[in-house]
Structure 1
Amino acid sequence: MNNEPPELDRGAGVVLVVDDVPDNLALLHDALDEGGYTVLVATSGEQALTRAAQADIVLLDAVMPGMDGFEVARRLRADPRTAATPIVFMTGLTESEHLVAAFAAGVNDYVTKPVRTSEVLARMAAHLHSARTQRQARNALDAFGHASVVLRPRDGRLVWQTALARRLLAEFFIGTDAPGADGLAPAPMRAWLAEKPALGATFSVTQGARRLSFVLHQTLSEDEWLLVLREQSDAATIAALGPAFGLTARESQVLYWVLQGKTNRDIGDILGTSPRTVTKHLEHVFEKLGVETRTAAAVLVVKRLGPMAGAMGG
């Protein structure tokens, strides 16, 4: 039996409205339906958590019996499927401490009750546009092999991550190092962030013959940093060098081990050949790259293959 939810007509967007008062649900449902939205409803926090993954945006009541809107928001932010879904609070609580608590829980915006449907529609449109732009950017990054995450350096919490990044983090970090159910980045990532790395800094983790490298690519704000991830292995990197620089398979191997800081004698031992043969291959490599030194070759590789190539040496 297929337990997957049916495919929804996205229309202008899919909205989950969470409120325990039927009259409020009816008012919002009718207004959103007329606006071209597909509307899902939930009358409790528990229902909201089971349905939110289908939604493009969540309209969330703050005060409900049982699980309130603050806890729902925290759980949605901790779930990778809904971590980037916009949340608009609907609340009659207008004291500053309540609003601070709402934003701390992860909501994007709020409207006061009794809600004005025109205001709700306007705010939703703005947040949906922003969310779609971010989703397109994440998809584009994945398409080019640039798995990416945005996180908060002050507490190590993941703000959003591309699908490829989510898969790589799950594969490389397991057990006590795994991403937390509360939305925290893996422990080694948080330890690296605590060192306050500079823009462009890299670190890597290994799993057998596989290596996952990270580069601090951009600071989106003081409280949000963008990391680009790339999985690397010796074989994959060697394979990439050939077409990038017009090298033979053996020349690619020699260049790769040069980038690892190996001497000609070391490379000969690795490849099962003599240091003299390695020297000949390296002369051909330098000629094809138009450089004269190992350092110049490394710089050229980084420029051609991007900043992640700088992590080849681990």
Structure 2
Amino acid sequence: MASDIVWPPPVKRIRAYRNIVVDGACNIRCTYCEVKKAKVDQAATIRSLDRIFADYEPDGVLFRVESDGEITLYRKIVDHLQKRASEGYRIEVLSNGTKVPTALEGRPDLLWVFSVDGHTEEMNAKRGLKQAQIDRIIDAAVEVEAELQAVYWGQPVEQVNDWIDLLTARGYRGRLHFMPLLAFKGQPLTVNLRYADLHPADFLAPPEYFRRWNHIFDTGKRDAVCDQITNGYNYQVSGDEIRMVKCDCYSVPKHLVHGFGPIREFDNWPCGTCIANQEFNNSRDRMLAPQPGRIPLPIV
């Protein structure tokens, strides 16, 4: 019926997404990661962070700040992120969770993402976590509604579903995001996970995410554009040095990395076979910007 049509149709305004990765060391040894060794100049890193923040209005962007290693090892940096968040910047921090709950203390304005591969030591075999550490991470995620980011390297689906059921029973209100082991330089994905095999839960990625994953696994090719390409950018921070690149999800060609300055958009980014948490960034609740009232049409 014509009377059922709503015009203009409702739309949602989203923030830009900016991922900042700072040099750092790590306190665990995941077998699927490089060993991170770095001497971090925290004062210089903070100066670089502020140079980046100055390019944006607080309401207009969601920053994800992380480290090549573990960012909560650098107290001054995380305290500064809390200060900027208290001033209105929307900042989420990606951590391996090994420093919770102390990492959360005195930092109420930060949003959190914890990397953990399941709810048991067996599921975290490649991260080397003990059960007490895992329990603390999950407790914190439930308490502060942190997102959970898991590397899927072949854990049995039954164990994955047990984890989903545990989070459901605990009333988890964040997001549980699975991503496969990255395939560098266009190599095929080695693991697959299908949505139909998972127990339903509102905190999982949408079915389309898994369809894209399955397609890349089956064909070795991507058939959809990632939200990182439509609405994201990466900053790589090493002390006073800032480098930028559209996406660093795989072995990005070096000529696409550039110095600090305006972002560069691309008509055809050379994606590999990776698929990760940025795939459906634009649909995350954290990406929603304050919705203004209806903007009146101009008078001409």
TM-score w.r.t. length of structure 2: 0.24
Structure scoring higher RCO (CA < 8 A, sep ≥ 6) equals: 2
Q: Which has the higher helix share?
A: 1
Q: Which has the larger radius of gyration?
A: 1
TM-score w.r.t. length of structure 1: 0.23
